[in-house]
């Protein structure tokens, strides 16, 4: 419920019971101030504009971060009507220096990512808000470094309950563990390959260039130390994708999208109930630590 008192209360309450999506930019400071600090969770979608092969839009991560946050909020509104879920505007920012040799990739430093996430969280923390879910679909260590550093600071300075659910899910290989059997090795589908092409075929079929069907499978181990500091074209990734986009399947895309949504729903509920959150695996934490702030 947006307003705690006053004549508009019943109207707002009805709006909430109809599972209205609360968008931060549509609220006045007064309405924000009226939100119950103990019962409000903010969702911050943040991902860079980044090339996703010759067949997918540069907003692939961006659109997915926002859409899955919206779907998660709709489910939470139904399951937990006592909680206010507030969607912050989509932030088109992230670290993706490694593929800025293609037009459309806009990379900022890990520090900038950290400052934006910390700046947003601290603005909420300064007014006593306690819950923040960061929704990102971009899994690069340099991007996560900024987000996780900001989360650490928000926890220590504001005692804020903050999480980034998709990183632990993705990097702990939960996708591989849970996905339907497909008959090929999906663990090599790193970027704009089978998974993301399937996802976009499900969510935005009109944004997927039909040429995806003719793209050859290309694989590279982007976690290898030999790739550090190198850009995609230097690694022979001339088209900007890693994986097998031609295998894309909208049904898998639906499954994958819903996994993200459920991951956000579960994380928000755990965060709210003070339960232990899944964490990034050690190898990713080490990779984040080894990276310079750039």
Q: Determine the Cα–Cα distance for residues 118 and 97; give it in Å rounded to an integer.
A: 21
Nearer to Zn ion, 76 or 200 (CB): 200
Helix or strand run (H / E) with residue 271: helix 250-272
- The least distance separating Zn ion from the CB of residue 197, rounded to whole angstroms, comes to 10
Give the binding-site size for Zn ion (rule: CB under 5 A).
2
Q: Which stretch binds Zn ion (CB under 5 A): 8-16, 55-63, 95-103, 266-274?
A: 55-63
Positions 73 through 132 that interact with Zn ion (CB under 5 A):
none
The answer to whether 251 and 199 are in contact (CB under 8 A) is no
Q: Which stretch binds Zn ion (CB under 5 A): 10-18, 59-67, 70-78, 221-229?
A: 59-67
Question: Based on the number of CB atoms within 10 Å of its own CB, is 51 exposed (0-12), middle (13-18) or buried (19 or more)?
Answer: buried
Nearer to Zn ion, 34 or 61 (CB): 61
Nearer to Zn ion, 130 or 195 (CB): 195
Nearer to Zn ion, 61 or 67 (CB): 61
Positions 172 through 191 that interact with Zn ion (CB under 5 A):
none
Tell me the three state secondary structure of residue 206: helix
The answer to whether 31 and 120 are in contact (CB under 8 A) is no
Nearer to Zn ion, 34 or 189 (CB): 189
- The least distance separating Zn ion from the CB of residue 90, rounded to whole angstroms, comes to 15
Report CA-CA distances (Å) from 35 to 15, 42, 86, 155, 262.
Answer: 15, 11, 10, 21, 25
Report CA-CA distances (Å) from 128 to 28, 29, 105, 258.
Answer: 17, 14, 36, 32
Is residue 51 part of the contact set for Zn ion (CB under 5 A)? Answer: no
The answer to whether 143 and 179 are in contact (CB under 8 A) is no
Q: Which stretch binds Zn ion (CB under 5 A): 56-64, 109-117, 167-175, 224-232?
A: 56-64
Closest residue by beta carbon to Zn ion: 61
Q: Determine the Cα–Cα distance for residues 242 and 231; give it in Å rounded to an integer.
A: 13
The answer to whether 64 and 49 are in contact (CB under 8 A) is no
Is residue 67 part of the contact set for Zn ion (CB under 5 A)? Answer: no
Q: Which stretch binds Zn ion (CB under 5 A): 61-69, 168-176, 222-230, 264-272?
A: 61-69
Q: Which stretch binds Zn ion (CB under 5 A): 57-65, 127-135, 260-268, 281-289?
A: 57-65
Is residue 61 part of the contact set for Zn ion (CB under 5 A)? Answer: yes
Nearer to Zn ion, 60 or 136 (CB): 60
Nearer to Zn ion, 61 or 259 (CB): 61
- The least distance separating Zn ion from the CB of residue 61, rounded to whole angstroms, comes to 4
Q: Determine the Cα–Cα distance for residues 223 and 140; give it in Å rounded to an integer.
A: 10
Neighbours of 273 (CB within 10 A): 9
Binding interface with Zn ion (CB under 5 A): 60-61
């Amino acid at each position: 419920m947006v307003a705690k008192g006053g004549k508009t209360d019943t109207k707002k309450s009805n709006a909430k019971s109809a599972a209205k999506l609360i968008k931060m930019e549509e609220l006045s400071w007064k309405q924000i101030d009226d939100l119950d600090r103990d019962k409000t969770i903010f969702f911050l979608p943040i991902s860079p504009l980044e090339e996703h092969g010759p067949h997918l839009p540069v907003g692939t991560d961006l659109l997915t971060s926002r859409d899955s946050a919206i779907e998660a909020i709709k489910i939470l509104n139904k399951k937990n009507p006592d909680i206010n879920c507030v969607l912050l505007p989509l932030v088109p920012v992230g670290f993706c220096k490694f593929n800025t040799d293609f037009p459309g990739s806009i990379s900022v430093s890990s520090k900038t990512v950290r400052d934006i996430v910390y700046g947003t969280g601290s603005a909420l923390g300064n007014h006593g808000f306690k819950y923040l879910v960061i929704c990102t679909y971009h899994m690069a260590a340099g991007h996560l470094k900024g987000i996780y550093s900001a989360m650490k600071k928000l926890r220590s300075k504001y005692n804020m309950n903050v999480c980034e659910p998709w990183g632990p899910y993705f990097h702990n290989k939960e996708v591989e563990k849970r996905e339907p059997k497909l008959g090929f090795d999906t663990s090599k589908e790193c970027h704009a390959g089978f998974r993301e092409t399937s996802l976009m075929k499900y969510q935005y079929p009109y944004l997927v260039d039909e040429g995806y069907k003719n793209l050859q499978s290309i694989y590279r181990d982007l976690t290898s130390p030999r790739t550090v500091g190198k850009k995609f074209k230097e690694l022979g990734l001339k088209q900007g994708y890693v994986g097998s986009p031609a295998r894309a399947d909208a049904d898998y895309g639906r499954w994958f999208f819903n996994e993200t949504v459920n991951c956000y729903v579960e994380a928000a509920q755990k965060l709210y109930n003070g339960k232990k959150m899944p964490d990034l695996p050690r190898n990713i934490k080490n990779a984040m630590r080894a990276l310079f702030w750039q």
